[in-house]
Amino acid sequence: MTPDGQSTTDHFSDPTAQAGAGLGVRLSGAHLSYDDTRLFDDLSLTLTAGRMTVLLGPSGVGKSTVLRLLAGLEDGAHARATIRCDDGGPLTGRVAYMAQRDSLLPWASVLDNAVLGARLRGEPLGPARDRARALLAEVGLGDRLVDRPGALSGGMRQRVSLARALMEDRPVVLMDEPFSALDFLTRLRLQDLTARLLAGRTVLLVTHDPLEALRMGHAVHVLHGRPATLDEALVPPGAPPRDPTDRDVLALQGELLHRLTGAGHGGAVA
Binding site for ligand ATP (CB under 6 A): 34, 39, 57, 59-65, 270
Residue 99 beta carbon to ligand ATP: minimum distance, rounded to whole angstroms: 11
3-state secondary structure of 47: strand
In this complex, which beta carbon is closest to ligand ATP, that of residue 11 or of residue 38? 38
The C-alpha angle 180, 245, 97, rounded to 5 degrees, equals: 30
Residue 20 beta carbon to ligand ATP: minimum distance, rounded to whole angstroms: 32
Residue 228 beta carbon to ligand ATP: minimum distance, rounded to whole angstroms: 8
Kindly list the strands in the beta sheet with 79-85, ordered across the sheet, starting from the edge strand earlier in the chain: 37-47, 25-34, 79-85
Residue 43 beta carbon to ligand ATP: minimum distance, rounded to whole angstroms: 12
In this complex, which beta carbon is closest to ligand ATP, that of residue 34 or of residue 184? 34
- Say how far apart CA 241 and CA 213 lie, in whole Å: 10
- Say how far apart CA 114 and CA 104 lie, in whole Å: 9
In this complex, which beta carbon is closest to ligand ATP, that of residue 26 or of residue 63? 63
In this complex, which beta carbon is closest to ligand ATP, that of residue 129 or of residue 208? 208
Kindly list the strands in the beta sheet with 202-206, ordered across the sheet, starting from the edge strand earlier in the chain: 95-98, 172-176, 202-206, 52-56, 219-224, 229-230
